[in-house]
Chain A
Amino acid sequence: MRSIISVNNLTKTYAGGFTALKDVSLEIRDGEIFGLLGPNGAGKTTLINIICGIVNPGDGSITVNGHDTIKDYRAARSLIGLVPQELTTDAFETVWHTVNFTRGLFGKASNPGHIEKLLKDLSLWDKKDERLMTLSGGMKRRVLIAKALSHEPQILFLDEPTAGVDVELRKDMWAVVHELRDAGVTIILTTHYIEEAEQMADRIGVINQGEIILVEEKTELMRKLGIKQLALELQGRMTKLPAALKTHKLELAEDGMTLIYTYDTRAERTGITALLNDLGKAGIKFRDIHTTQSSLEDIFVNLVKRAS
């Protein structure tokens, strides 16, 4: 697939001497939803802000749809919409004005129909004449999304869009995101809610202490790094693991009704066949068997631990 954003060997050191990004290279593919995960202070916002022109880049280069973000900043920036992490709004402006203002800033002719649809999609239409200071935090977040989409960008950055947002808004927001993806818009989102990346993203990048430590298809990532657990529900209570089964990595659940076998899907042999054989020999009967895969969250925590 064609890449729409290329970050090449980007290093950023802030004025205080802190290096927030270390030799970051990243390709974002046209039309994908890319989830950027990382703990607090990892450099997610710094990366986004440099791509968008809010923070000066250090070494390295970035192109957006082939346009250099410095030399050809007009072409590059006009493709991008940004929903910043911080809720920053012009307190005294009305919703309608502020959204139209952004469209104007991006040099687009006014299009009330488009803005109206946006506000309706984000359940903001009945608030359109309200001043921003009278809106709740979640409503302001919606306004920021509407502003970012006001100029019909090809690329949308969502920097922690769901921080402090209720279930209802999340649903609205993901509906909008899906609609945008269907229309071919590339979406880059950062989030601390890993389920969200798991649900939404096509690919996932993990950044830690300014370094990209992994970029992977989400499904591939889950498959590759996934640790699976096989749960065997017993017919009768077991108080102690039989000696015959000691060679297997087995655990007995506290209630004594389930045996849990943990295995690595990447391993050549998972050891399941041998386990089942031994269980049969030991005469252990079970009611049900099921497997669970570790969540992205587990993977993420593991990765970050390993890196540091």
Chain B
Amino acid sequence: MITGMDRLTAAIRGETADRIPVFCNLLDQGARELGMSPQEYYARGEHVAEGQIRMLRKFGHDNVWSLSYVGKEAELLGCRKIAYAKDGPPNVEDFVIHTPADIGKLTVPDDVLAHPMFAEVRKCLDILRREVGGRNPICAYITSTMTLPTLLMGMEKWMELLFLGPAEMRDALLAKCHDFFVKEVSAYRRSGADVVVYSNPFGSTDIVPMKFFMAQSLPWIERDLRAIGTNGVVYYCGMARMNQVIETVFDHTGIGAYYVSPLDDLAEAKRIIGGRGLTCGVINDIKLIDWSEADVRQEVRRILEAGMPGGRFLFGTGVMPLAIPEANIRAMLEEAYEFGSQKREMNR
């Protein structure tokens, strides 16, 4: 039987499997499936693993996540307060960095794998590896060096420090974030993650000007990638656009996969990436909340029509909001499975 991993590998190599790979990122939905509050659900690695496996059985997409919520990274760096909602994802509630002195005090764990806050992630990964390893790509979410400070001091304070300085303080923090980034990637890989989603909104020209991207963001992207290699790495800007930087990121790092924003022109992204790498076409999952099933199917077809020609294509979602009706999730996936089948791919 063809597995999700086979589909992903085929797409990366420019070969065809039965259909294109389909990534569907259902995180908070796991809690609902298990009838738990998000807080109860995310407290245990076995819950998250069980939730992911049930999602896979229910919807038949290709990937699973070891990610519980993005704020986990702040917890690994000392955050002890997470705000849980009943109808949405958990958020960092208390920042680790309040004052300049806190930057000096920030300590990066030597071995993230052995950190108590990583224990549940590790448990989750153990189970996923045992149950679906090698068959379904296991994804890890890692915030880039330049974006990580947002989780430690908030977006507002980080923008201030990043753009208005003092530069030494900014650089001291970035150095620590880079150190953590490298150790975190290593911990996830050693625990069995296959795909590293490199999340870098500060590598999008929606967030920073091009001049700044070239002068500040790019050197950190290069450093990050030199340290971890490009194996399994996907460039992702947190759903912000990336078409303007794909070429540069590719030339400077060799990253082979791009998780394009739904606000980007997908056909253009595909032209830029061409046969050099994997183009991931992403649906605007906020609109999935109130689209009709017919709208959903039409949008999936539009994305596939723009992205499939020439192969090396993956269909994906963002972090799917809980408010999306299950019928729309099914309609989206059915259409992607059907329209993304090999038969159709060969006919183009």
Chains A and B bind each other: no
Residues in B lying within 8 Å of A, measured CB to CB: none
